[in-house]
Amino acid sequence: MSVNAPLNMEKAASAAFYLPHGDECTVFAAAHANRLPVLLKGPTGCGKTRFVTHMANRLARPLYTVACHDDLSAADLIGRYLLKGGETVWVDGPLTRAVREGAICYLDEVVEARKDVTVVLHPLTDDRRILPVDRTGEEIAAAPGFMLVASYNPGYQNILKTLKPSTRQRFIALEFDFPAPEHEVPVVVRESGLDEARVQPLVRLANKLRGLKGQDLEEGVSTRLVVYAATLIATGMPVERAVSVAMIEPLTDDADVKRGLLDLVLAVYG
């Protein structure tokens, strides 16, 4: 990640619709008030990022999102010296900016981060709440509104990519899953503009497809994909085609598995 072109860093959108499925908003607000970091666990496309955007908005904090990957270094998060017009100037990374401004820093897919990155988080995520910046010799105390949020998908974990207990036990953790139908239907209606009567069978199909997780499918179909299918239908695509491109093809490349999935489509749509 280049500090000059912080593609992964974004300020919170002005408004973000989020339909709670439990007490997650209350827990998150309590964590923020008590200066506790939060870890969100859940499958892809179930609403983690949307939830953080929504909460940043509700708590009126700026949000810096960093997509973690195994090339991301501590300097990408903290900052580095850059040459500007013949002078060397220090440029804060997203984590340092969040610490100074009292913002929310959201580390997406934190298990992908290298060890040197997770170690940087330790003094920030216990009661010290400080960020040591070795390069400048600074030790920055986090401003009051600062909060660290991290997320990961436990489904993709392998033995090499787990968080150390000393890291994970610095966070309170909220488990996310796909919304129950009575929540997913209004979410998809709102996100796609498709009417409820046509969203209902899509959500029924999604739940049937999710039943195949672990047998034929690595991951169940996400709410994100259901929203895609509904959006395509709302703009005129025939249901069958929209379901195929948004809810079947993204799940598998295996022709036999695909046939099995199409049987489920027939079972729902007749």
Ligand X SMILES: Nc1ncnc2c1ncn2[C@@H]1O[C@H](COP(=O)(O)OP(=O)(O)OP(=O)(O)O)[C@@H](O)[C@H]1O
Interacting residues with ligand X (CB under 6 A): 17-19, 42, 44-50, 153, 179, 187, 191, 223-224, 227
Whether the Cβ atoms of residue 172 and residue 130 lie closer than 8 Å to each other: no
Q: How far is the CB of 106 from ligand X (least distance, A)?
A: 10
Question: 49 or 244, CB closer to Mg ion?
Answer: 49
Q: How far is the CB of 187 from ligand X (least distance, A)?
A: 5
Whether the Cβ atoms of residue 70 and residue 112 lie closer than 8 Å to each other: yes
Question: 118 or 151, CB closer to ligand X?
Answer: 151
User: Using CA atoms, how far apart are residues 210 and 173, in angstroms rounded to an integer?
Assistant: 24
Q: How far is the CB of 210 from ligand X (least distance, A)?
A: 14
- Looking at the DSSP bridge assignments, the partners of residue 91 are 80
Chosen residue from 27, 35, 49, 245 binding Mg ion by CB under 5 A: 49
The interface partner of residue 19, options being ligand X, Mg ion, none and the CB cut-off 5 to 8 Å by kind, is ligand X
Smallest Cα–Cα separation from 8: which of 63, 94, 67? 67
Question: 153 or 207, CB closer to ligand X?
Answer: 153
Smallest Cα–Cα separation from 61: which of 149, 172, 170, 131? 149
Q: How far is the CB of 60 from ligand X (least distance, A)?
A: 20
The interface partner of residue 94, options being ligand X, Mg ion, none and the CB cut-off 5 to 8 Å by kind, is none
Task: Give the CA distances from residue 30 to residues 58, 102, 122, 152, 156, in Å, rounded to whole numbers and listed in that order.
Answer: 13, 16, 21, 21, 29
> Which amino acid makes up residue 84?
K
In which element (H, E) is residue 167 found? helix 165-168
Q: How far is the CB of 68 from ligand X (least distance, A)?
A: 11
The interface partner of residue 92, options being Mg ion, ligand X, none and the CB cut-off 5 to 8 Å by kind, is none
Residues making contact with Mg ion (CB under 5 A):
49
